[in-house]
Structure 1
Amino acid sequence: MNRFLGILAVVGEDGTIKVPLDMLQTAGIKPNSKVELFSDTSNLFVRTAEKFCDICRTNTNTTSVGNQEICKPCLDRITQAAQEKSQTEAE
């Protein structure tokens, strides 16, 4: 059983689709920002093309840490390394 979890949009004659602003905001996409579109055989994906991790350069959601934009995997690695260093120093 497939449950519908989104909204219905109509593809215009010129191929455009209107996406509600609140859905874009939820995804972290602001008006006039650049987005990346990609698809597979049954899905179309949209993501911001303006947020890159300053460490690994991956185009993904990032968190501001000081003046750096850092993705979750890099932030997790930094956190783990800091915890390991703290444990080593405590011993």
Structure 2
Amino acid sequence: MTIPEIKLIPKPESEEGRQALGYKWNNIAGTRHKLGGKPDGLPVQEYPLCDSCKSTMTFYAQIDSIGDDYDLADCMLIHSFVCFDCYEVKSQLTQSLV
């Protein structure tokens, strides 16, 4: 199953939040947040398997690094997956240049 892609745009509600966004040296990192679609930099062969039923899990969300002060190991992405049969969830860090 593929969930339709829905782009997420950060909307900080404080000055501290606004200052945390973005990179001084990179215009792509920090802009790749989304629900559904396909995960950036991760082929379907590398999707995790559900621990209970051993089926390939469905990609659910991608959360990007926030900015220079909250960087995830050189601009990595958090990819979250769900099994819609067992409702198990897994997340992993993935390096992507997309």
TM range (shorter): under 0.3
Task: Specify which structure has the higher proportion of helix.
Answer: 1
Name the structure, 1 or 2, with higher relative contact order (CA <8 Å, separation 6+).
Answer: 2
Compute the TM-score of the two structures, normalised by the length of structure 2.
Answer: 0.25
| TM-score, normalised by the number of residues in structure 1 | 0.26
